[in-house]
């Protein structure tokens, strides 16, 4: 759905040479302390586990929003683990999904189940959960060359959205080129 894709925030918004904004939102204000805490978490576990954690918060009521994030961000971030969270009017997490090229499903299920019911007021607990699940369940998938070549194999008549959706399907189904 083009309207849903249009709601997805653009990634890699740099604040300065050393820091990027990796906590993004759609329809909700998220304080800078979330980005600072995520930067600390990425510094702590990122290099060791070869993972780049991002978070996207939305007021969208359905987890299908995470599929739009996946379609919009198909070609990145490298080694990305994107935690997408639907936030209710009371600031509680109504749903959570993980978008990642990683084929490891255990972390996706664990984060989905553990984050629902948490809130914007429980930031320390949320990052504790993410750290625990990354250190015990994250499995890096080596598919960067395959991912980056996916968009180049489509006819030029296809729209970017169609290319992204097709690339996402191929990645999920682990098709070889």
Mean pLDDT by 10 residues, the chain (177 residues): 86 62 93 95 92 95 93 76 96 95 88 97 97 93 53 52 62 51
DSSP 42: I
The pair of structure tokens assigned to 14 is 């740099």
Q: At what angle do helices 123-137 and 32-41 cross, to 10 degrees?
A: 30
Closest CA to 166 of 75, 73, 71: 71
- Give residue 20's pLDDT: 81
């Amino acid at each position: 759905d083009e309207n849903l894709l249009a709601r997805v925030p653009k990634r890699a918004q740099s604040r300065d040479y050393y820091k990027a904004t990796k906590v993004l939102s759609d329809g909700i204000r998220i304080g800078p302390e979330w980005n600072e805490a995520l930067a600390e978490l990425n510094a702590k576990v990122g290099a060791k586990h070869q993972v780049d954690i991002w978070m996207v918060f939305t007021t969208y009521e359905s987890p299908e929003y995470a599929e739009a994030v996946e379609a919009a961000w198909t070609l990145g971030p490298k080694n990305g683990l994107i935690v997408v969270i639907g936030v209710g009017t009371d600031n509680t997490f109504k749903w959570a999904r993980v978008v990642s090229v990683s084929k490891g499903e255990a972390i996706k299920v664990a984060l989905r189940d553990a984050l629902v019911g948490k809130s914007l007021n429980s930031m320390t607990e949320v990052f504790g959960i993410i750290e625990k699940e990354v250190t015990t369940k994250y499995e890096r998938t080596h598919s960067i060359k395959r991912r980056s070549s996916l968009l180049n194999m489509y006819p030029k008549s296809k729209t970017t959205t169609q290319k992204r959706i097709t690339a996402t399907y191929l990645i999920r189904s682990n098709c070889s080129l």
